[in-house]
Chains A and B, each alone.
Chain A
Amino acid sequence: MRELIIESLSKKYGDVRVLENLNLRYRSGTINGIIGKNGAGKSTLFNCIARNTPYRGKIERKNIESIGMLSANPYMFPRITGYEFIRFCLSAKNRRENRQKMLQLNRLFELPLDKYAENYSTGMLKKLHLLALFLQENDLLLLDEPFNGLDIQSSAYLSEILKQMKHSDSLILVSSHDISHLLRISGTLTTLENGSAYFRTESLSDIEKEFQREAEERVKNLFCIT
């Protein structure tokens, strides 16, 4: 059983407080969705968990040795092919290359792995990073906006792959603005708002209705005033 225990986590950039006294607990075997407005601190939370940025508080990573993270805007080295990138990532994590598994996964994503990855579209680049992450078999997977830029078919494949992965005792955290996608695959849903976080238990239709209601009210008020 892998566990991620976040206690009194706070993070600020200069004077701007992004996360304030966060207390969260995630276990392996489920996909954990994270939602929040732009700038709510989803990426910052992931960066804290991945030890990419200093923070205040405690993050305990029980039985978690390797972390894989897909950033919202993934980087690509110039002049290397998709296949070379995957091999580079596997070697950097000291993992053996499983060519058969790679080809099987790529049958879903249909990436031109012999072409320079820097010329890939945003969605293709994201799929390449996901492919590299899935082949590494990390204990903890942090996926920041994985559905952004992906076509409908690839999004569906990604959802199904993640569902399969949760059975392999991986701990998966996924942030997305696509709530319907997230609710379809997530076992828990965390909302980040004004620096704090809370778990949501409502159904998809209830959450969607709440957002719709808030939007309608705000827009109405705005047009009434002006």
Chain B
Amino acid sequence: MIINQLKLIILLKLTTLKRSVREIPPVHLILLSIFALSTSWFLLKADIPVTGKSLSVAAMLQLLVCTRLKYPANKKELLNQYPKLYPASLLTDTLLTTLPFLFAHILFWFVAIAVALPYTLLSVQKERKTAIKLPALPSPFFPKSAYLWHSQFRVFLPAVWLFIAAISVIARIHENFNLAIVVYNGGVFVSVITVMLQKEGSDFIGIYLNGSRFRKRTTEETLVSATIFALPPAVLLLPLFPSEWPAIALSFLCILLISLNLLWIKYIFYPSMILASLFFFVGIAVQAALTISQYGLALIPFYHLGLYYFFKKRTHLYFTENERTDY
């Protein structure tokens, strides 16, 4: 039975993929293909050592990806009506996410599969607890994404803070500031991306009434959010490594700038979160490459000006187009 259901799900996914690809505008399709090819090429050529550490990282990455696979309740209800269809669908999704590991090394792929299979099995058996007993407190800091902040990330962000704090203390004991600052930047970066790269519905954006109001409010919210993410661990790092305050302050500023960068890119490519994520990471790589020479460094402000120009143009168009369709 499970084989038949797997076949059905795979056929459904192939049909959906084929039709979705046909609908992507050619320019976006070219960009996506370039990115996919270059990532595959990079993974194939990169000489990643297969050690206990790297295999553990692969396992953790796969687990992280698996936990991000969430089905809406009505999809689960539909799939559960048919024998073994929900496990078949979840298994297909988790196995699909293991494929990138195959490009790096077959052992990484095996590890990813070894994580994906028990994860699927446990997820099918275990019913997620509905946490409606936890009150969703109104937040002055997250007016736009108050729901997301309180219901989805109320555990995630404190967990990241605790993780940064624990590693920072260990780094202090070993007098290794590099470890502390890498964990600080990495942890806050992941938090910012996870919370900010959530897609809002177009009707939600429409409540801002016009482009300039939208840009002002989202900029304020982004800066406040990023400060909340980055400030507590930075305050913790300062007494642990007082002599390194310039590096900590610089990292904090970088987080704020990266958040703004992400905000602009998110709405340049809205509603496609995939394209926005791809461009965001490619953009960071490009900026890193530019910092190699002083001439490149001088180009970075122009890159940001360009981004802001497109952000302004796109958000303005978004509101004016919506106005027209109202008639």
Contacts and interface: CB of A to CB of B under 8 A. Distances in A.
B81 A94 contact: no
A71 B72 CA distance: 13
B12 A80 contact: yes
Interface in A2-33: 13-16
Given A15-B133, A92-B8, A79 B20 contact: yes
Nearest to B81: A69
Contacts of B129: 14
Contact of B15 (A75, A80, A89): A80
Interface in B1-17: 1, 4-5, 8, 12, 15-16
Contact of A47 (B16, B19, B77): B77
B250 interface: no
Contacts of B81: 50, 67-69, 93
Nearest to B126: A54
A207 B55 CA distance: 66
A69 B4 CA distance: 21
Contact of B127 (A54, A68, A89): A54
Contacts of A51: 80
A93 B82 contact: yes
A91 interface: yes
Count class of interface residues, chain B: 20 to 34
B16 A77 contact: yes
A187 to B, nearest CB: 24
B132 A16 contact: yes
Given A14-B130, A75-B72, A69 B77 contact: yes
A13 B20 contact: no
Contacts of B85: 92
A71 B19 CA distance: 27
Interface in B53-79: 72, 74-78
B8 A88 contact: yes
Interface residues of A, number: 28
Contact of A16 (B5, B16, B127, B133): B133
Nearest to A93: B82
B133 A78 contact: no
A69 B81 CA distance: 7
Given A16-B133, A53-B127, A92-B85, A75 B78 contact: yes
B48 interface: no
Contacts of A52: 76-77, 80
A91 B20 CA distance: 23
B131 interface: yes
Interface string B161-176: 0000000000000000
A89 B85 CA distance: 10
Contacts of B127: 53-54
B4 A71 contact: no
Contact of B77 (A16, A75, A92): A75
Contacts of A71: 74, 77-78
A119 interface: no
B74 A88 contact: no
Interface in A26-70: 47, 50-54, 67-69
A50 B78 CA distance: 11
Interface string A85-101: 00011011110000000
Contacts of B4: 91, 94
Contacts of A89: 82
Contacts of B76: 52
Nearest to B78: A75
Given A91-B8, A93-B83, 17 more contacts: A14-B131, A14-B133, A14-B134, A47-B77, A50-B80, A50-B81, A51-B80, A67-B81, A71-B74, A74-B74, A75-B72, A75-B74, A75-B77, A77-B16, A79-B19, A80-B12, A92-B85
Interface of B: 1, 4-5, 8, 12, 15-16, 19-20, 72, 74-78, 80-83, 85, 127, 129-134
10 contacts: A13-B130, A52-B76, A52-B77, A71-B78, A75-B75, A77-B12, A84-B15, A89-B82, A92-B82, A94-B4
Closest 4 pairs between A and B when the two form their complex, measured CB to CB: A14-B133, A92-B82, A75-B74, A79-B19
